[in-house]
Chain A
């Protein structure tokens, strides 16, 4: 047969190796698409909280898929089962695949035991976005918060995830902090596992 031997033939599609998936996409193309996503959702809502929720929902489905893909591709079909493990997975592996870099910082909340924060000096989705004054504290990082919630929830760590602007001293622009507040059951389970 012609062509046999040139490309290895896989009889079973499941034996085929997964593509590396390291391709970069155009930042402009993404920025325009994201801008349209925000604009479309804006026409569907009548208040800012609702807009934030819709963006988060859009991110949630991305997160759920990203977890599935990365566990299969990078972790040999295993996923993190411990709190710190999954957090560093989000902070490094997920961030690297989505934004091409590790997140700037991962911290534990000082006031509450169940809170963690991932901070970015300049979140990729916010690179070209200026929030009008009348929208108050609205942050398009809600989309990224949704991705994080999607990953955590699908991995069995239900949490409430929100995005906030935090003003920085000596900096013109505030940074974005993704605040993760885990559900009670997660912490109880962590305590049991020791």
Chain B
């Protein structure tokens, strides 16, 4: 059973620039994933405004009956979020690792255009490895 269902990366204006599905059941079509991404972008922004706590940076974790949504926002406004099985641990660590891979293999690639969809072979390869490693670590518990 996969612990991680899917991964999204959205740019600072709410456009989906990367989407990957890891779940075995129910693939989402492109339009739906775009919709989910921009919906999350808006909810995240609204949560910042509504929060009673000063200096709130937006939702970090959304817990539902059937999934957990962990979100990480970089300083430049790019958001990374994973949808995972409820109660999956170390997701914030995984998001940091994914952010690191993004800065290495996407931002240092001269052929990547900022804010555009990510199509970098090296990013895909290393991401798959990172997720795999995470899965092994979870199974090893």
**A interface list, Cβ under 8 A from B:** 28, 31-32, 34-39, 42, 128-132, 135, 140, 172-173
A132:B119 contact, CB within 8 angstroms: yes
- Chain B proximity of A160: nearest CB distance (Å): 25
Chain A hits for B121, CB < 8 A: 130-131
Chain B hits for A140, CB < 8 A: 110
B111:A130 contact, CB within 8 angstroms: yes
A129:B104 contact, CB within 8 angstroms: no
Chain B hits for A37, CB < 8 A: 110
Given contacts A32-B108, A130-B122, A131-B111, 19 further A-B contacts (CB under 8 A): A28-B108, A35-B108, A35-B110, A36-B110, A38-B110, A38-B111, A39-B110, A42-B110, A128-B104, A128-B108, A128-B109, A128-B122, A129-B109, A129-B110, A130-B119, A130-B121, A131-B121, A132-B111, A135-B111
- Chain B proximity of A33: nearest CB distance (Å): 10
In angstroms, Cα B119 to Cα A26, docked, is: 26
Which are the 5 A-B pairs with shortest beta-carbon distances?
A38-B110, A128-B108, A130-B120, A130-B121, A35-B110
B109:A172 contact, CB within 8 angstroms: no
B-side interface residues, number (CB < 8 Å): 12
Of the A-B pairs whose beta carbons lie under 8 Å apart in the complex, a sample of 5, sorted by A's number, is: A42-B110, A128-B104, A128-B109, A131-B121, A172-B125
Chain A hits for B110, CB < 8 A: 34-39, 42, 129, 140
Chain B hits for A128, CB < 8 A: 104-105, 108-109, 122
B125:A35 contact, CB within 8 angstroms: no
Chain A hits for B125, CB < 8 A: 172-173
- Chain B proximity of A165: nearest CB distance (Å): 12
- Chain B proximity of A61: nearest CB distance (Å): 20
B123:A130 contact, CB within 8 angstroms: yes
0/1 string, B94-129, CB within 8 A of A gives 1: 000000000011001111000000011111010000
- Given contacts A128-B122, A130-B123, A172-B125, are A31 and B108 in contact (CB under 8 A)? yes
Chain B hits for A130, CB < 8 A: 105, 109, 111, 119-123
Who on chain B is nearest to A40 by CB?
B110
B119:A129 contact, CB within 8 angstroms: no
In angstroms, Cα B108 to Cα A135, docked, is: 18
